[in-house]
């Protein structure tokens, strides 16, 4: 079954939006198969955002993402990668469709409430990158 990695970003955790955000995924019939609250390390974030390493905002992004704890979720379901990206909305909350998580809870282009993997391949890679930090057991079918 397809899986994806979601991060409820630090400001959304600080604002106590974890329950509301998880409910949105569940209301869309997606299954939360793992959840872990953790302070992200810069090593993991640099791997997670490796494609953005040349961007001028890269260092700021890593420091924002490790500014306080985030909640990392693994979701499972048919077409879960694409479904989560739709539910999350456009990267820039100002351009996100009404009803999306980023429209409702995002603040800025950077501080935008949630992350969702962009492809099935990226999801598998991100799950491996985060696996130890979020204690998601290797070999677990879930
Ligand atoms: P995505 O999260 O919608 O996949 P990406 O382009 O992969 O968007 O960027 C990853 C994250 O980097 C975004 O969610 C956002 O937090 C941050 N980001 C993207 N573009 C900018 C920018 O131009 N300035 C500051 N932060 C940005
Ligand atoms: Mg991305």
Q: How would residue 139 be classed by pLDDT, with cut points 50, 70 and 90?
A: low
Structural domains of the chain ordered from first start: 2-38+68-130 (3.30.70.141)
pLDDT 10s digits, 74-117? 999 999 999 999 999 999 999 999 999 999 999 999 999 999 99
For 12-71, write each residue's pLDDT tens digit: 999 999 999 999 999 999 999 999 999 999 999 999 999 999 999 999 999 999 999 999
Q: CA distances (Å), 74 to each of 51, 63, 110, in order?
A: 21, 23, 22
**pLDDT category, 138, cuts 50, 70, 90?**
confident
| Cβ within 8 Å of residue 142, ≥6 positions away | 33, 34, 76
Question: Mutate which of 91, 96, 103, 108 to test ligand 1's pocket (most atoms within 8 Å of Cβ)?
Answer: 91
Query: Residue with the nearest Cα to atom 18 of ligand 1?
Result: 110
130 confidence band (pLDDT: 50, 70, 90)? very high
The Å distance, Cα 58 to ligand 1 centre, comes to: 9
- Centre of ligand 1 to C-alpha 19, Å, is 23
Phi/psi of residue 86, each to 5°? -65, -45
Ligand nearest to the CA of 115: 1
**So which residues are the catalytic ones?**
115
- List C-alpha distances in Å: 126 to 48, 98, 102, 121: 6, 28, 21, 9
What's the pLDDT band for 141 if we cut at 50, 70, 90?
low
């Amino acid at each position: 079954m397809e899986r994806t990695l979601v991060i409820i970003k630090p400001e959304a955790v600080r604002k106590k939006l974890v329950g509301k955000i998880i409910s949105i995924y569940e209301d869309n019939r997606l299954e939360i198969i793992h959840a872990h609250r953790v302070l992200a390390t810069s090593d993991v974030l640099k791997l997670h955002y490796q494609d953005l390493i040349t961007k001028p905002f890269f260092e700021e992004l890593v420091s924002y993402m490790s500014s306080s704890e985030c909640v990392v979720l693994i979701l499972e379901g048919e077409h879960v990668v694409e479904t989560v990206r739709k539910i999350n909305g456009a990267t820039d909350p100002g351009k996100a469709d009404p009803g999306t998580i980023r429209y409702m809870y995002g603040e800025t282009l950077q501080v935008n409430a949630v992350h969702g993997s962009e492809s099935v391949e990226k999801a598998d890679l991100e799950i491996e990158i985060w696996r130890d930090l979020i204690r998601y057991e290797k070999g677990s079918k879930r």
